[in-house]
Amino acid sequence: MSLTNTIRGLFKSPMDSTPPGFDDVCAAEERVRPLARVTPFLRFEALDEAAGATVFVKCENVQRTGSFKIRGATNRIARLGTEERMRGVVAFSSGNHAQGVAAAAKAFGAPATIVMPEDSPKVKMEGVRRLGGEIVTYDRETESREEISARIAAETGATLVPSFDDPDVISGQGTAGLEIARQAQAAGGPLDALIVCAGGGGLTAGIALAMEGLSPSTKIYTAEPEGFDDHMKSFDAGKIVGNERRGGSICDALLSPAPGEITFAINKERVAGGFAVSDDEALDAMAFAFRRMKLVVEPGGAAALAALLSRKPFARRSRVGVVLTGGNVDSDIYQRALARL
């Protein structure tokens, strides 16, 4: 069997590769709830004024492990059998998915090996180690994280927990969308639009499925770093288009090579469009979140906020949601953001 076929086989979940639906997201909620908290859905007068719209902020930056990733990781590992958990899990990630997998694996008593870029933020690597995960590093410019993970899985019998292109992971991430729809309704009605930070598209896909079921009038938009706007390019082309570069942005959480096959199949039918933000705009958004919202957000986690603040694409009467997807940031990057105040 070729390495490519081995990788494909390892990526399959108990649901195989069939795209999940709204019912799968609802089913994931019960499995996810013991580990993932319901995160705040907040309003800030200063943000409304700056954006020129009525803005609601979903704070996944204060989620357990500091990002939404624990949702999908928990749903994936919860569906493994006892023997599979004993053999362990393997994942590849720049840090947020890594910590989510490590935390979920620890909760289920499963060993976890995480393949991480050498240039991953220190705070994220420290978080993985603190949660008991073993780290294997690689060079994102010259080595394949998929191949390394596949070799580890083949040698150890561990189960691969993908960061986005997996039905169980997508369904788990979608539980954030269920919360958003309910929280928005409790706050006066459905959102007109929702901006989601996008790397591989798993969170976007899960939220899109959730909103399709509970808030179908809400338009979904992606936010990506400039030069890594593969979702925007793929939506325009009607097919998956990858990024030419593998690194070079401070938004490390969003540097996936291309949209996933499953995530793109979901998102191309349900996402209204996207935005690309510069590193400077991400830093400005981080500074705004600190100064005016009293929130700590990492660069990739601030991309949706940056898109809203820098583009101001929605009318004042619009009810707009922004997902802050992560708050795991090294002190040197955060100092760069705060220096802009």
Spell out the domains of the chain, with CATH numbers in brackets.
22-68+169-338 (3.40.50.1100), 70-164 (3.40.50.1100)
Beta bridge partners of 112: 89
Find where tokens 């959102």 sit: 191
- Predicted confidence at residue 16, as pLDDT, reads 54
Residues of the chain under the 50 pLDDT cut: 1-8, 10-15
Cα gap 207→172, rounded to integer Å: 10
DSSP-derived pairing of the beta strands 54-59 and 41-42: antiparallel
Cβ–Cβ under 8 Å, residues 123 and 99: no
Task: Give the model confidence (pLDDT) of 279-319 as tens digits.
Answer: 999 999 999 999 999 999 999 999 999 999 999 889 888 99
Structure tokens at 109: 């008593």
Cβ–Cβ under 8 Å, residues 73 and 97: yes
pTM: 0.93
Q: Is 8 helix (H, G, I), strand (E, B) or coil?
A: helix
Task: Give the model confidence (pLDDT) of 75-104 as tens digits.
Answer: 999 999 999 999 999 999 888 999 999 999
Cβ–Cβ under 8 Å, residues 282 and 310: no
Going along the chain, which residue ranges are E strands? 41-42, 54-59, 89-92, 112-117, 134-138, 159-160, 193-197, 219-225, 271-277, 319-324
Cβ–Cβ under 8 Å, residues 80 and 110: yes
Q: How far is CA 62 from CA 5, 149, 321, in A?
A: 38, 29, 17
Task: Give the model confidence (pLDDT) of 183-197 as tens digits.
Answer: 999 999 999 999 999
